[in-house]
Amino acid sequence: MSQWLFDLGNSRLKCAPLDAAGELGEVRALGHDESAFVERLRECLPDRADSACLASVASPALTAAVLDALVSRFRRISIARTQRRFAGVRIAYAEPAKLGVDRFLALLAARARGAGPWLVAGVGTALTVDLLDADGNHRGGRIAPSPRLMREALQRAAAQLPAQGGDYVEFAADTADALASGCDGAAVALVERSLRLAREELGAAPRLLLHGGGGEALRAWLPQAEPAPSLVLQGLAIWARAGRDRSDPPSTRSP
């Protein structure tokens, strides 16, 4: 059985084949703000395969465009949804469907790494922070703008402020460095505060997982973080394996 996984975020799509043992193959990433995105996606796909699993937090229009591309290549398409209980994880939200599926899958992947507690920080378009205790209970989380989004928002409000560039320094002596230091520093401070309060709440220090396209840029100031760039895809692999074992994934669309 040939199976592929697709993680469609707000800025890019990541995909990888899943081998017979349920392990991720080579991960590819495509920015969907690029021209000819769907055509580039088609170039990455196999000519024909058994099944695809899609997790999307993108707009309905973009999700539909990706599904249309997948329908031409895969016999069956499964769409991952957040569930209250799955693979040893229990979601804190009273309405689990309101928790982004990317955050849900990242929690599954954290749980699969071994005993917690875990603090899972994703840095993409948004900065998300979720706490998972040692028993697999999601204790809730936070959502904030990522450093990139902060920079873009500032430029939209004040065109003279550059959206890129600058270096992190504690007290900057020019505008570009001050922007980089302020926006990166705000993200780091939120993660550090979450770590401190999680330790107080749980009585044990959680391990920090850092994922998403912007995660690498923050690692220098979060040395305790464990990099996990493909964490959402790893969680999607867990979801896909569960569906394979049942031979009936939770949500399926057939071409």
How far is CA 247 from its chain centroid? Answer: 26
Q: Edge-to-edge strand order for the sheet containing 118-123?
A: 138-145, 126-132, 118-123, 207-211, 226-227
For the record, the structure tokens of 109 come out as: 């992947």
The single-letter DSSP state of residue 141 is: E
Q: Would you call 102 a catalytic residue per the annotation?
A: yes
Which of 7, 50, 102, 133 is flagged as catalytic?
Answer: 102
Measured CA distances, 115 to 80, 136, 216, 224 (Å): 24, 9, 24, 17
Gap between the Cα atoms of 53 and 76, Å rounded: 9
Gap between the Cα atoms of 71 and 122, Å rounded: 29
Q: Which residues are tagged catalytic?
A: 102
